[in-house]
Structure 1
């Protein structure tokens, strides 16, 4: 296959898809999904963040993140509180923190397997290239 932006984009999407499917399967064992765990990760990294900021951080629409956040609240993993103006702030509960931490171990293992075929130098090169493309 010749390397073109289109073929490279498809290869990138395929690698991401395989990694996400593997993570979803592994996270199911601890009672969560990749989308839910990623939301917990984003909330942990930005406590008190608005729903919009969290939607952007998790590559979701505002509406999708709102629906997800409501499910996380119903599961007792996230608390919502009024913020400044109309802003609603999000924070992890103790249960949410436990799921996040368990998911960290699971996703670290899955991601390590996903990139196991690359040497340290290849991984560094890929990282640099993806940073450049992602910032463009």
Structure 2
């Protein structure tokens, strides 16, 4: 039994690895990386969020996210503003929004290719199963 579970785990990881490599490669054409584009997406979904919140949303440590957002700010893609107390809030700049939009177009093409072997019904089933696996306990 453990062999089948390990094979399943490896297949999920392999699909993710291929998807990430394809996305990272294609996103370079619009001047960003997968990690940067993912950070822009997170900031766009929750403008004004703290680094801690954004790090969690992008599956990074606060330290890694801090370094990443520093690079984004240096490229004028993100703006950091003082919030309440010591909180620093993160917002997209107009240029950051443009890069995000270009990244969405690229990602749509790449992901369509990555999942092209699955008919729509199978993609929906896979999404449903993955959502069940990643749901918060008790949700």
TM-superposed deviation, 1:3: 6.8
Q: Aligned partners of 2:84, 2:108: CA distance in 1, in Å?
A: 35
Q: Match of 2:117? A: 117
Residues paired across the two proteins, number: 135
Q: Match of 1:38? A: 38
SS at match of 1:35: helix
Tell me which stretches of 4 or more aligned residues in structure 1 moved more than 6 Å.
Answer: none
Q: Match of 1:57? A: 57
TM-score by structure 2 length? 0.93
SS at match of 2:81: strand
Q: Give the unaligned 5+ runs of structure 2.
A: none
The Cα offsets for residues 3-52 of structure 1, whole Å up to 9 and x where unpaired, read as: 72221111001001101100111011111100000000100000000101
SS at match of 1:90: strand
Q: Give the unaligned 5+ runs of structure 1.
A: none
SS at match of 1:4: helix
TM-superposed deviation, 1:127: 0.7
